[in-house]
Amino acid sequence: MPNMRVELLPGRTVDQRRDFAARVTDAAVEALGARRQDVRIVFEEVDAGFVSNGGVLAADDASRAALVAKFSASD
């Protein structure tokens, strides 16, 4: 039974998560021989202040500024 945890910055739509889940489930069935109903995916939204890419907090990353500002909690 494959169990997967996917961490995302806030902002993905339900349709995006639904599409991702379907594609990853298809891949797990094909690559691992898992039964479709046994593939479990958990989505977890992670605040941009708790994620760093290349040594830069996502909250400080100018390329993510619009998305982060839209979904960040106030300090």
51's CB contacts (< 8 A; 6+ apart) are 7, 9, 57, 58
At 27-52, the pLDDT tens digits run 999 999 999 999 999 999 999 899 99
Token pair, residue 45, equals 């939204």
CATH assignment, 3-71: 3.30.429.10
Per-residue pLDDT reduced to its tens digit, 11-26: 899 999 999 999 999 9
Cα distance between residue 35 and residue 42, in whole Å: 17
The per-residue b/e assignment along 6-19, b for 16 or more CB within 10 angstroms, e otherwise, is: eeebeebeeeeeee
Contact between residue 59 and residue 24 where contact means Cβ atoms under 8 Å apart? no
Q: Is the pLDDT of residue 60 over 50?
A: yes
Read off the pTM. 0.78
